[in-house]
C-alpha cells in the first residue's frame, strides 16, 4: 500500500484561477479549514506522507482489488482489455472513505469536535460518519431528500455509525430553495456549521485536498497494472464534482508529465442530467446554495439550475472541481455525458458478467468504458467507485422499464448560467 499521496499541481504548467469573494460576503471569506488541508490545496509539493493514524485505517481495506473484466468485455463487445479498479469494499461502500479518514484526522487535530456535511446519494455522508467514528468526532449530515427517500438504508447506516442525519431541505436552516440538489444540502450544512461552537463544515469531493487524498486509487492501479504487465491508453471515471475521477486519473497524468510514462486519455463521464463538462460554461460560480462561500472557476451549469431527480445520484452536482475544470479547459481531460438508462444498463451488464453490483454513479463510468473499449487500441482502466447494494430500487425500475432519461433543457441551462462571470477564454485545445 502506498505511504504517500501524489499531487498533480506541480505538473500542470499553469496556475489555477484564484477564488473570488462573493459580493454579499462581509469581508474575506473564512474557510475554517485545518492548515494542513490548505497547504495540500495550494502547495506545489508533489508527494505528501500519509499520517500513520490514517495509514492504520487505510490498512483495513487497502489496497483495493484490480482485475481484468473479461466477462464484461464479452458483454459489451470490447476490442481491448478492460481493467476494473474496485473501491466498494469498505464500510461506506465507496471511494469516499479515502478522503473522509484523512479529513477527520486533520479536523480532530485542529480541535474540531463536530463536522457537518451535505451528501447526495449518501456515500460521502456514510464515509464521513465512519471516519468520525474512527477518530472520535460528532457528525451531522444533510442528505438530499429525494435520495434519502430512495435509499433509506443509507440513513440507517449513517445513524448506526453515530451520525445525525437530516433530509434536505430540513427546515433547520434558512434555506428552502434549490429543489432536490446537492448544492442545497451543502448550503444547509454550511449554514448549520456556522451556528455552533466546535463545528466545522467538511466537503467530500471537489477540493484539491480531497482529490489529493484519492490519489491512492490511481497510484495503486499503476502498480497493479505494472505487476500484470498490462497497458492501458484510456482511464475512465465518473464525475460528480471530481474526486473519483481525479483519484483514478490524475496519477497517470502526473506520471506522464514527470517523464515516467506515455500519455493516456483521461475520460470523465458525467450524467446527461447535469452536463457541466460537456454543456456547461467555464465560469466563476458558487459551490453551494448559500452563495456566501468563495466563487470558484469551474465548468458549471449554474448553481441555480433546477436538477431533476434521477438515478445519477452522487453525480447530481452543478459544477466540476476547479482542478478538473482547469485541466478540461487546457485540453488534458475529455468528457462524455451518459443518460441514466445507459448507465444502469451498463451496471446491469457488469453485475451479471462480473458478479459485482455497481453504484449508479459507477454505471456511468462503465458505460463510458464500454464506449472507450470499442475505440481504444491498448486497454481501458475504469474505476468502479462503489457498490450498488443500497441502490437496488434503481435497478428494479430499470427492469420494469420505468427509467427515463432527463437530458438538461437548453433554455434552462442558458438561464442558469446567464449571469455567471466567464473565465477568460484565452486558451485553446478544449476537446
* Cis peptide bond upstream of 63, omega within 30: yes
- Which ranges of 339-378 would DSSP assign to H, the alpha helix? 340-354, 360-373
Q: What is the mean pLDDT of residues 164-175?
A: 92
What confidence tier does 1 reach under pLDDT thresholds 50, 70, 90? confident
Q: Which is more confident, 63 or 123? A: 63
Grid cell 456549521 is found at: 193
Instruction: Report whether pLDDT(338) > 70.
Output: yes
CB 154 within 8 A of CB 147: yes
Q: Which of 110-124, 310-324, 386-400 has the lowest mean pLDDT?
A: 310-324
Tell me how far CA of residue 349 lies from CA of 24, 47, 343, 354, in angstroms: 49, 38, 10, 8
Q: What is the mean pLDDT of residues 144-153?
A: 87
Q: What is the mean pLDDT of residues 165-185?
A: 83
CA gap 278, 264 in Å, rounded: 20
Q: Quote the pLDDT of residue 55.
A: 98
Q: Quote the pLDDT of residue 281.
A: 97
CB 238 within 8 A of CB 244: yes
- Length of the chain equals 431
What cell was used for 297?
Answer: 472557476
Q: What is the mean pLDDT of residues 400-419?
A: 92
Please, what's the b/e burial string for 118-144 (b: 16 or more CB within 10 A of its CB; e: otherwise)? bbbbbbbbbbbbbbbbbbebbbbbbbb
CA gap 192, 170 in Å, rounded: 11
Instruction: Report whether pLDDT(292) > 80.
Output: no
Query: What share of the chain in percent tops pLDDT 90?
Result: 77
What does DSSP say about strands 82-86 and 66-68: parallel, antiparallel, or unpaired? antiparallel
Instruction: Report whether pLDDT(431) > 70.
Output: no
Q: Which is more confident, 405 or 47? A: 47
Instruction: Report whether pLDDT(31) > 60.
Output: no
CA 125 to chain CA mean position, Å: 13
Select 59-93+209-414's CATH number: 3.40.50.1100, 1.10.10.10, 3.40.50.720, 3.40.605.10: 3.40.50.1100
Please, what's the b/e burial string for 390-425 (b: 16 or more CB within 10 A of its CB; e: otherwise)? bbeebbebbeeeebeebebeeebbeebbeebeebee
Instruction: Report whether pLDDT(426) > 50.
Output: no
Grid cell 487497502 is found at: 62
Select 97-204's CATH number: 3.40.50.10070, 3.40.50.970, 3.40.309.10, 3.40.50.1100: 3.40.50.1100
Please, what's the b/e burial string for 304-325 (b: 16 or more CB within 10 A of its CB; e: otherwise)? bbbbbbbbbbbbbbbbbbbbbb
Q: Quote the pLDDT of residue 427.
A: 45
Instruction: Sketch the domain layout of the chain as residue ranges.
Output: 59-93+209-414, 97-204
Nearest CA-CA partner of 268 in 320, 312, 232? 320
Instruction: Report whether pLDDT(144) > 50.
Output: yes
Nearest CA-CA partner of 119 in 177, 188, 213? 188
Termini Cα distance of the chain: 35
CA gap 292, 193 in Å, rounded: 13
Q: What is the mean pLDDT of residues 26-31?
A: 46
Q: What is the mean pLDDT of residues 189-197?
A: 90
Average pLDDT taken over every residue of the chain: 92
- Which ranges of 261-320 would DSSP assign to H, the alpha helix? 276-279
Instruction: Report whether pLDDT(425) > 80.
Output: no
Q: Quote the pLDDT of residue 428.
A: 42
Q: What is the pTM of this model?
A: 0.94
What confidence tier does 205 reach under pLDDT thresholds 50, 70, 90? confident
Instruction: Report whether pLDDT(69) > 70.
Output: yes
CB atoms inside a 10 Å sphere around CB 170: 18
Instruction: Report whether pLDDT(381) > 50.
Output: yes
What does DSSP say about strands 281-285 and 265-271: parallel, antiparallel, or unpaired? unpaired
What cell was used for 63?
Answer: 489496497
Q: Quote the pLDDT of residue 186.
A: 86
**pLDDT tens, 226-252?**
999 999 999 999 999 999 999 999 999
Q: What is the mean pLDDT of residues 59-80?
A: 98
Angle CA 173–178–183, to nearest 5: 80
CA gap 97, 91 in Å, rounded: 8
Q: Quote the pLDDT of residue 304.
A: 86
**pLDDT tens, 339-373?**
999 999 999 999 999 999 999 999 999 999 999 99
Q: Quote the pLDDT of residue 21.
A: 78
For the ranges 19-23, 144-148, 210-214, the one whose mean pLDDT is highest: 210-214
What confidence tier does 10 reach under pLDDT thresholds 50, 70, 90? very high
Amino acid at each position: 500500500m502506498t505511504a504517500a499521496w501524489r499531487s498533480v499541481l506541480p505538473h500542470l504548467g499553469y496556475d489555477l484561477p484564484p477564488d473570488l469573494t462573493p459580493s454579499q460576503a462581509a469581508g474575506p471569506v473564512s474557510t475554517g479549514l485545518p492548515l494542513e488541508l490548505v497547504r495540500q490545496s495550494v502547495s506545489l509539493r508533489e508527494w505528501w506522507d500519509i499520517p500513520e493514524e490514517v495509514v492504520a485505517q487505510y490498512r483495513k481495506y487497502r489496497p483495493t482489488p484490480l482485475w481484468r473484466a473479461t466477462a464484461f468485455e464479452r458483454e459489451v463487445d470490447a476490442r481491448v482489455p478492460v481493467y476494473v479498479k474496485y473501491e466498494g469494499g469498505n464500510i461506506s461502500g465507496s471511494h469516499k472513505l479515502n478522503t473522509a479518514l484523512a479529513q477527520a484526522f486533520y479536523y480532530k487535530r485542529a480541535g474540531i469536535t463536530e463536522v457537518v456535511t451535505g451528501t447526495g446519494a449518501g456515500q460521502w455522508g456514510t464515509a464521513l460518519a465512519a471516519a468520525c467514528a474512527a477518530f472520535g468526532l460528532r457528525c451531522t449530515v444533510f442528505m438530499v431528500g429525494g435520495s434519502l427517500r430512495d435509499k433509506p438504508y443509507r440513513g440507517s447506516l449513517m445513524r448506526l455509525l453515530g451520525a445525525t442525519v437530516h433530509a434536505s431541505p430540513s427546515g433547520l436552516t434558512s434555506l428552502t430553495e434549490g429543489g432536490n440538489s446537492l448544492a442545497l444540502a451543502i448550503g444547509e450544512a454550511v449554514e448549520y456549521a456556522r451556528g455552533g461552537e466546535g463545528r466545522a463544515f467538511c466537503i467530500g469531493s471537489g477540493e484539491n485536498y480531497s482529490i489529493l487524498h484519492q490519489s491512492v486509487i490511481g497510484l495503486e492501479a499503476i502498480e497493479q497494472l505494472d505487476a500484470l504487465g498490462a497497458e492501458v491508453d484510456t482511464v475512465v471515471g465518473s464525475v460528480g464534482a471530481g474526486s473519483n475521477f481525479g483519484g483514478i486519473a490524475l496519477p497517470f497524468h502526473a506520471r506522464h508529465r514527470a517523464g515516467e510514462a506515455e500519455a493516456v486519455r483521461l475520460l470523465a463521464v458525467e450524467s446527461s442530467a447535469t452536463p457541466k463538462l460537456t454543456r456547461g460554461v467555464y465560469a466563476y460560480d458558487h459551490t453551494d446554495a448559500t452563495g456566501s462561500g468563495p466563487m470558484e472557476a469551474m465548468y458549471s451549469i449554474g448553481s441555480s439550475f433546477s436538477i431533476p431527480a434521477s438515478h445519477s445520484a452522487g453525480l447530481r452536482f452543478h459544477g466540476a472541481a476547479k482542478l478538473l475544470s482547469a485541466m478540461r479547459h487546457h485540453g488534458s481531460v475529455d468528457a462524455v455525458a451518459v443518460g441514466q438508462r445507459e448507465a444502469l444498463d451498463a451496471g446491469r451488464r457488469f453485475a451479471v458478467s462480473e458478479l459485482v453490483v455497481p453504484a449508479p454513479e459507477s454505471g456511468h463510468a462503465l458505460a463510458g468504458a464500454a464506449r472507450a473499449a470499442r475505440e481504444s487500441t491498448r486497454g481501458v482502466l475504469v474505476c468502479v467507485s462503489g457498490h450498488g447494494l443500497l441502490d437496488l430500487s434503481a435497478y428494479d425500475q430499470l427492469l420494469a422499464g420505468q427509467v427515463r432519461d432527463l437530458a438538461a433543457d437548453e433554455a434552462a441551462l442558458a438561464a442558469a448560467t446567464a449571469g455567471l462571470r466567464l473565465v477568460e477564454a484565452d486558451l485553446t485545445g478544449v476537446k
